[in-house]
């Protein structure tokens, strides 16, 4: 399995996952259509050859470019209503999926995992092929204890580390918005993300990408520091794990497959 996180943050989110047989996207948001098309081209992926798009939830930064891919199968737990610039409905090849009920796309197994976000039905995904396992969790206020065993021991993690609490509280955002972000239906802060990851990784884990960082209320350095502190506290070595913090307009790639 090869993973290319094409963009991650409040302006757009999209992740390309490929094997020798299959190619899928998780979410279809990006700062601009031109950015997403160029990122796919540079990854060597044609839009027409994507086997399906899996949507986590309906906020614009996750579906903002979806109308340009409307001919492709779209898999989601949430109901999606798209409109074009003239406010006309955009038809979708929509497929309703349910938490913990896997979908098989060629040699990929994709299992939705319910999350807690204020957009309505929201999921993360566990993506597996014959060799490796990816956990993709963003846009959630917390992770249910009952889901922790299923998320544990993956090869790869793309995991939300949205905000530094002190930075968030010092922004000029209104109080209601700050409360929304820190609530159980908001976003994971650096410390909560780091704590959860410290409970999930095993000797099998090879890559951790801290994702969906806030532009105003976080920095890659702070997110990384929180992770390293949590792991050090538990005596977990990062020597054999590649760790990075994703940025809005920078592609993060890991894993591999043979065409």
Q: What pLDDT sits at residue 194?
A: 98
Q: For 81, which DSSP code?
A: -
Do 46 and 37 touch, CB atoms closer than 8 A?
A: no
pLDDT tens digits, 78-107: 999 998 888 899 999 999 999 999 999 999
CA 146, distance to chain mean position in Å, is 20
DSSP 128-168: E-SS-EEEEE-S-S---GGGHHHHTT-SEEEEE--B-HHHH
Kindly report, residue by residue over 131-147, the tens digit of the pLDDT: 999 999 999 999 999 99
Across the range 44-65, mean pLDDT stands at 96
CB 75 within 8 A of CB 17: no
- Cα–Cα distances (Å) from 128 to 78, 84, 257, in that order, read 22, 34, 13
Per-residue pLDDT tens for 195-254?
999 999 999 999 999 999 999 999 999 999 999 999 999 999 999 999 999 999 999 999
Please report the pLDDT score of residue 259 as a whole number. 66
Is the pLDDT confidence value at 121 over 90? yes
Predicted confidence (pLDDT) at residue 14 exceeds the cutoff of 90: yes
Tens digit of each residue's pLDDT (9 = 90 or more) over 160-193: 999 999 999 999 999 999 999 999 999 999 999 9
Average model confidence (pLDDT) across the chain = 96
């Amino acid at each position: 399995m090869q993973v290319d996180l094409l963009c991650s943050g409040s302006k757009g989110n999209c992740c390309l996952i490929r094997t020798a047989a299959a190619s899928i996207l998780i979410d279809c948001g990006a700062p601009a259509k031109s950015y997403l098309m160029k990122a796919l081209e540079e990854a060597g992926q044609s839009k027409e050859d994507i086997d399906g798009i899996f949507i986590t939830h309906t906020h614009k930064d996750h579906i903002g470019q979806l109308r340009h891919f409307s001919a492709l199968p779209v898999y989601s737990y949430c109901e999606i209503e798209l409109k074009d610039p003239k406010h006309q409905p955009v038809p979708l090849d929509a497929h309703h999926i349910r938490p913990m009920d896997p979908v098989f796309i060629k040699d990929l197994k994709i299992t939705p995992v319910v999350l807690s976000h204020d957009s309505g039905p929201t999921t993360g995904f566990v993506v597996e092929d014959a060799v490796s396992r990816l956990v993709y969790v963003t846009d959630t206020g917390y992770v249910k204890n009952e889901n922790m065993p299923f998320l544990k021991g993956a090869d790869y993690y793309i995991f939300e580390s949205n905000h530094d609490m002190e930075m968030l509280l010092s922004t000029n955002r209104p109080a209601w918005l700050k409360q929304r972000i820190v609530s159980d239906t908001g976003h994971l802060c650096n410390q909560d993300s780091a704590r959860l990851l410290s409970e999930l990784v095993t000797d099998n884990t090879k890559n951790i990408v801290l994702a969906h960082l806030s532009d105003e209320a976080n920095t890659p350095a702070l997110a990384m520091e929180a992770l390293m502190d949590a792991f050090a506290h538990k005596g977990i070595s990062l020597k054999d794990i590649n760790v990075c913090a994703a940025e809005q307009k920078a592609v993060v790639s890991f894993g591999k497959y043979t065409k």
